[in-house]
Chain A
């Protein structure tokens, strides 16, 4: 499986959960949203996106549903479940802790 070189290891799940926490979206929209919200810094390839979505769905964190898009085409929309919200909170807290520690370490002045 090709790894997303442009993403920090293990953060894809967190990002997806977070984006879906804002509103239910289909796969294409998720990739667009990720790009725009991160001002083109974060990108995810289809090869990572869809397997990740399916994994999240299997875990029961998100729910997939076929719906009409705004321009009247059928697409699979993903929405966060209650379980997913809890997972998001846990992962977000984890990320906060981790990133704070890393930032702190990185900012240490080389005396």
Chain B
């Protein structure tokens, strides 16, 4: 349009020159005749009837111009919004991964999880026989699938190599068909491939494994690979879109349930026969039109039938159907709870950021009172003006949102940097996917509205007469009302940031308190222990070979120079794997009618265990080398267990019967100190130790204690293992201090850092907000203060005058913040720390610090007010 009109103009000028005018005169006349280019353009646009769009473009252009006029303020606002949004997007990505991201299968909403329930366990697995019953006797589903947990599997790429560990999953033959996952090459399992135990040695590879270990070779289908020493034929590769059904880990391959023998997890049980060998997670696809209620009723009836039919294994055992959402937000999972708490806190920071921006925009609007008044006076519509002002905050919010995405990336990167000491790689699946980005955009728009609407509404309600009279409106006549809004913002900010800081401190103290109760391994022990895990099943040892291997390994390891003591355990305390469970009846106990046995966590250990880890035996004795497979069966229980079952007597000498009232008798020979077994949140739980010789397990951890750096033991240990069997992989070799640091410092430390960052950012914003308010107040009352000084007010009087208001706000904010903090403390105690009570120390430290800092923010502008020269006040008029 521009070019066309310019073209026309030039012709007109040339015509003028041709008529004998001077060039400048020709130009003047031509321009006059055309009546100004801009006006022509406007008319053309009007003819096109696209006001709103061009208006918007104008507004944006105007907004950028007017924002550029106050670059520091604009930059501060953008940074504030960026921090607020980035800090919210980070936990949102976490919540998304932990709760909302659907299963990577078609129609994920119809996939439900079936769980086995008992009095003690709400989300139990099923045994193979139970799975068959569920599959064959339910009518609510288009298919019922079973899968094992991720099993460490020895994979040999070329014959003769030492096996490396990969994660494999046993799945039912219909797994891929029912979930609706089509392999990218080859085929999935046939339904009948999980029927005959050991017959169909076929494997479907996961895409990652196929790429990493087989170089994405399309000819891999049809090849054989060696898993746990057995040959498996590759029949297909799962699609890239299907990374498995877990949140944190990805299987490397899938094998049919019928091949369970090769991967057997529980050597004491028979996978196919034992109804109580519960190792399978069961999922099902609801038929269209079948409601959850119908499915639940059907399953309850089925579970009741099973309990009647198999009283030995299924008495008191129910079953339940859960949606994906219910499974992910179940009560015994800490991750999502932390995600929720973190999100709430982050939204609080966003709120503080928005209130701050709203405050800044308000004072900005005030200095533009005259401009707005002029616009109103020359006939701008109020809605048009509001639109213009909102466009300004929209531009700010979009810039802030973009920068916020960068902040979010940094936050997610920080979380992903956590290395988790697990045997199989753990993926931290937090990422900014479309859903999170959309939520972020929505947040930006929402914050634009939240920040901009109030200032826009208020500044267009200007009194024209007074607005036009002075460059800065005197808000004497309506000051209190405007100030009330800003005061409320500052109170909210102080309250929020106090709450955030409380949360950060509570977390810090909470995590620390969990370590103060001397229920973890002592410093001396944990700094000098090397651990390495073995699984002889990976090289096809039978029970006898396994026993021999561990006996020789123990003997030789103890002879390594520098080794003080050595021990075997299934899992050292605070390891990531869940400890084993033992069912028992204390001898002489009459079980309540509805239950057959109690359960407790347990570990199989050898005679070096208590000494190596430095766990004190309080009464009786520990496990001895003389407790062998042929001697009477014994156990050591922890203090908590002993008090739990014999509150008034001594547990030593009492007997337990394993599995049920008629099971194998085991004598309690000692009581050990109660420790934390699963994580630092443990608050004393029952625990039973049994001698490894009497309660053998395949996967064991060797612990070696020395005086110096435990890693120096690594070469000799390698030599010993190599001497026993060159093919035996050493899984998960690390110092115990590594494990301990993760469980006690790094994991919780990350949480504390994240929440602490939120708290500090919140506090900085609140300080800026308070400073801004008081400074604004001072500038508003310059004249008044000047007059007061002129007639003899002392600096102290002025400070009192100006700060009085700030003090009141700080007091109100602190009170509200305290109330919020108490509420949050109860929430966190309930969700994370399993604790009650109030941590008074936190408040004693935080509240004075908070008051001091905020007072300072109010004092600085107040002091400035005392220096107002009276002459300035008089010149103000």
Contacts and interface: CB of A to CB of B under 8 A. Distances in A.
Interface of A: 1-2, 26-28, 31, 45-47, 50-52, 54-55, 58, 73-76
Contacts of A55: 47-48
B35 A47 contact: yes
A28 B39 CA distance: 18
B594 interface: no
Given A47-B40, A51-B47, 4 more contacts: A31-B8, A46-B33, A50-B44, A54-B48
Contact of A28 (B8, B33, B44): B8
B801 interface: no
B327 interface: no
Contact of A45 (B11, B33, B44): B33
B807 to A, nearest CB: 61
A28 B40 contact: no
Nearest to B9: A46
Interface in B351-379: none
A27 B4 contact: yes
Contacts of B248: none
B5 interface: yes
B7 interface: yes
A55 B49 CA distance: 10
B784 interface: no
Count class of interface residues, chain B: 10 to 19
A43 B134 CA distance: 91
Contacts of B44: 50-51, 54
A76 B460 CA distance: 43
Nearest to A48: B43
B35 A50 contact: no
A58 B48 contact: yes
Nearest to A26: B7
Contact of B46 (A1, A74, A75): A1
A5 B47 CA distance: 19
Contacts of A58: 47-48
B7 A27 contact: yes
B3 interface: yes
Contacts of A74: 3, 7
B4 A50 contact: yes
Nearest to A75: B7
A64 B164 CA distance: 71
Nearest to A31: B8
Interface in B1-54: 3-5, 7-8, 11-12, 33-35, 39-40, 43-44, 46-48
Nearest to A73: B7
Q: Which of B34, B35, B44 has the most CB of A within 10 A?
A: B44
Interchain residue pairs A-B with the least CB separation, the first 7: A51-B47, A28-B11, A76-B4, A46-B34, A51-B43, A55-B47, A28-B8
11 contacts: A26-B4, A27-B4, A28-B8, A45-B35, A46-B34, A46-B40, A47-B35, A50-B4, A50-B44, A51-B46, A75-B4
Contacts of B3: 74, 76
Contacts of A31: 8
Contact of B5 (A1, A45, A46): A46
Contacts of A52: 47
Contacts of A1: 43, 46
Contacts of A54: 44, 47-48
Contact of A2 (B5, B35, B48): B35
B51 to A, nearest CB: 14
A52 B43 CA distance: 10
A77 B34 CA distance: 20
Contacts of A76: 3-4, 7
B782 to A, nearest CB: 49
Contacts of A27: 4, 7-8
Given A1-B46, A58-B48, A28 B7 contact: yes
A28 B47 CA distance: 20
Contacts of A75: 4, 7
Contacts of B4: 26-27, 50, 75-76
Contacts of B34: 46-47
Contacts of B7: 26-28, 73-76
A10 B7 CA distance: 26
Contacts of A51: 40, 43-44, 46-47
A50 B48 contact: no
Contacts of A50: 4-5, 8, 40, 43-44
Nearest to B34: A46
B710 to A, nearest CB: 78
Contacts of A45: 33, 35
B559 to A, nearest CB: 92
Q: Which of B12, B34, B43 has the most CB of A within 10 A?
A: B43
Contacts of B47: 51-52, 54-55, 58
Contacts of B8: 27-28, 31, 46, 50
A56 B148 CA distance: 72
B38 to A, nearest CB: 12
A44 to B, nearest CB: 12
A28 to B, nearest CB: 4
A2 B34 CA distance: 11
